[in-house]
Amino acid sequence: MNANELADELDKSRQKSYTSEHLVGKAANMLRQQQAEIEALKDKLYLTKQSLDIVDSWIGKAQDK
């Protein structure tokens, strides 16, 4: 189940005025997983930016010569 499917299920359960514990548990687990993925992507983006800054620095030094 992906986030959109989970959202659809939550909407359906809300319309029926109930939310199963199982569905709430799935939502909590999915949110934790997505947060971990977001943090990993932030770290990757930070490292990529650092790498680009290093390359820019090397290019600047090479052009100064």
CA distance linking residue 21 with residue 42, whole number of Å: 32
Please indicate, yes or no, whether the overall pTM of this predicted structure exceeds 0.85.
Answer: no
Number of domains in the chain: 1
Task: Return the pLDDT at 17.
Answer: 67
Task: Return the pLDDT at 23.
Answer: 81
Each residue's pLDDT, cut to its tens digit, for the chain (65 residues) gives 777 888 888 888 877 766 688 888 888 888 889 989 999 999 999 999 999 999 989 998 888 87
Task: Return the pLDDT at 42.
Answer: 92
CA distance linking residue 63 with residue 55, whole number of Å: 12
**By residue range, what is the domain housing residue 36?**
3-64
31 close to 7: Cβ distance less than 8 angstroms: no
CA distance linking residue 28 with residue 19, whole number of Å: 13
Task: Return the pLDDT at 43.
Answer: 92
